[in-house]
Amino acid sequence: MASRKRSSAPAAAPEGINPKAPCPCGSGRRYKHCHGSGYAPPVIRSFEGLPGEPDWVALRELVPAATAKLRTTDGRDVTLASVLPGGAPALVRANGEIVLGVQLQSSSDDVSRDLGTALAAALEAPAGAPVDPGPIGGAGSAGPRLQELLDLTAPFEVAVHDDFGFWLEGTEPNAAARAGLQQANEAILPTVRLAGLEAAYWVRPGNERAHLRWVRPEPEEKLLDALARLRAAGDPILLGEGTRYAGAFRAHGLVVPVWDLPADTPAEEWIGPATEWQGRLEQALASTEPLNADERRARAGLLSRQITIR
């Protein structure tokens, strides 16, 4: 795979660089374990530079059934889907419409390149024909990145669906396709994107609790500092009565705070509390003062409740 392609020998450290010192690329790794190892480091923020980066992360990791419209640099329209049947990377309908699936069965250390490889193959495939992008997420995944293929000025607007009916749009499905669609639909968790809040998704996995998963656009370190300031100042990071801050996870270089919510409260009723909380967060983000001792302790506690899923 292109993102971890091994050279014939580890690179010699340039004059003046200690192999045990942090790599100049800013990855945080020692030089000998990063650019000096013969391997390129993984891409931490695969979707950085794309419009709607937090929503790209959400469609990749959180949202079961959703679509968004894309446009390529040469003006061709593409539909992005959270997932396609069988985890296929892309398909071209009989009418020529390209559909790109963001949730792949396998991936490399650069998801943008995996998806770009699939999109490039779909752009060349004839209408109604299978898309064969070659290896995705393996040693041969060396195509272009999404950032090279997409019009970065086009808006990115997500439409969340109650089912996977968009899989079969414009087709005449046979019995097997309809059965597969029904089976997939039965596994969908009710999901709502909160209006007016970027990449904030309400989901109800059962009858007892619901959750708000909010992919934040801020750099990880800056966001964690702001959350620590809120916690140290006595803010419990709640969205109201009956809610609980469950922690956060890290996906594609962004942090996703998660709240437990009462299951019987409709999703739309959380827009106000979430908007109010975002105002408190923005005030904390504006601070440039170093963290004090209480804030550092609060930050450590927040980190202990954070996991990385990608």
State residue 31's pLDDT score. 61
State residue 192's pLDDT score. 98
Closest Cα to residue 119, out of 155, 84, 160? 84
Task: State if pTM tops 0.75.
Answer: yes
Which range among 130-139, 240-249, 301-310 shows the weakest confidence by mean pLDDT?
A: 130-139
pLDDT classification of 138: cutoffs 50, 70, 90: low
310: tokens are 């990608």
Top-confidence residue, 116 or 129:
116
Residues spanned by CATH 3.30.1460 within the chain? 191-308
Handedness of CA 213, 218, 221, 226 (dihedral sign): negative
Top-confidence residue, 279 or 132:
279
Choices 3.30.420, 3.30.1460, 3.30.870, 2.60.200: CATH for 191-308: 3.30.1460
Q: What is the pLDDT of residues 253-269, one digit of tens each?
A: 999 999 999 999 999 99
Query: Stretch 187-206: mean pLDDT, rounded?
Result: 96
State residue 14's pLDDT score. 57
Consecutive H or E run containing 221: helix 220-232
State residue 249's pLDDT score. 93
pLDDT classification of 4: cutoffs 50, 70, 90: very low
Contacts 24+ apart (CB under 8 A), 94-98: 94/127, 94/128, 94/170, 94/171, 95/127, 95/170, 96/127, 97/170, 98/122, 98/123
pLDDT classification of 203: cutoffs 50, 70, 90: very high
pLDDT classification of 292: cutoffs 50, 70, 90: very high
pLDDT classification of 3: cutoffs 50, 70, 90: very low
State residue 8's pLDDT score. 35
Residues in the chain: 310
Query: Stretch 196-208: mean pLDDT, rounded?
Result: 94
State residue 2's pLDDT score. 31
Query: Stretch 212-222: mean pLDDT, rounded?
Result: 97
Q: What is the pLDDT of residues 13-23, one digit of tens each?
A: 556 677 777 76
- Mean pLDDT comparison of 9-13, 169-173, 222-226, 301-305, highest-scoring range: 222-226
Rounded distance between C-alpha atoms, residue 24 and residue 301, angstroms: 30
As a whole-number percent, the residues of the chain with pLDDT over 70 amount to 86
Mean pLDDT of the chain: 88
Q: Is the pLDDT of residue 305 over 90?
A: no
Q: What is the pLDDT of residues 146-186, one digit of tens each?
A: 999 999 999 999 999 999 999 988 788 889 889 999 999 99
| Strand pairing report for 244-251 and 191-193 | unpaired
Q: What is the pLDDT of residues 43-71, one digit of tens each?
A: 899 999 999 999 999 999 999 999 999 99
Q: Is the pLDDT of residue 125 over 90?
A: yes
